[in-house]
A and B are shown apart, each in its own frame.
Chain A
Amino acid sequence: AQSVTQLGSHVSVSEGALVLLRCNYSSSVPPYLFWYVQYPNQGLQLLLKYTTGATLVKGINGFEAEFKKSETSFHLTKPSAHMSDAAEYFCAVSASGGYQKVTFGTGTKLQVIP
Chain B
Amino acid sequence: GAVVSQHPSWVICKSGTSVKIECRSLDFQATTMFWYRQFPKQSLMLMATSNEGSKATYEQGVEKDKFLINHASLTLSTLTVTSAHPEDSSFYICSATHPRGQEQYFGPGTRLTVT
What does DSSP make chain A's interface, helix, strand, loop or mixed? loop
In the docked arrangement, what's the CA distance between A41 and B6, Å? 13
Given A36, A43, A97, which contacts B108 in the complex, CB threshold below 8 Å?
Answer: A43
**Number of residues in B with C-beta < 8 Å to the partner?**
23
Given A36, A43, A46, A103, which contacts B107 in the complex, CB threshold below 8 Å?
Answer: A43
Q: Does A51 contact B (CB under 8 A)?
A: yes
The answer to whether B101 and A98 have CB atoms under 8 Å apart is: yes
Among A32, A51, A102, max chain B CB count under 10 A is at: A102
The answer to whether B106 and A44 have CB atoms under 8 Å apart is: yes
Interface string of B46-58 (1 = CB under 8 A from A): 1001000000000
Q: Does A106 contact B (CB under 8 A)?
A: yes
In the docked arrangement, what's the CA distance between A98 and B93, Å? 16
* Chain A interface size range: 20 to 34
In the docked arrangement, what's the CA distance between A98 and B98, Å? 7
The answer to whether B43 and A104 have CB atoms under 8 Å apart is: yes
In the docked arrangement, what's the CA distance between A43 and B32, Å? 19
The answer to whether B44 and A104 have CB atoms under 8 Å apart is: yes
The answer to whether B109 and A98 have CB atoms under 8 Å apart is: no
Residue positions of B touching A, CB distance < 8 A = 6, 32, 34, 42-46, 49, 93, 95, 97-98, 100-104, 106-109, 111
A-B contact pairs, 30 of them (CB 8 A): A36-B106, A41-B109, A41-B111, A43-B6, A43-B93, A43-B107, A43-B108, A43-B109, A44-B44, A44-B93, A46-B106, A49-B103, A90-B43, A90-B44, A94-B104, A97-B101, A97-B102, A98-B32, A98-B100, A98-B101, A99-B101, A101-B46, A101-B49, A102-B34, A102-B104, A104-B43, A104-B44, A106-B43, A107-B42, A107-B43
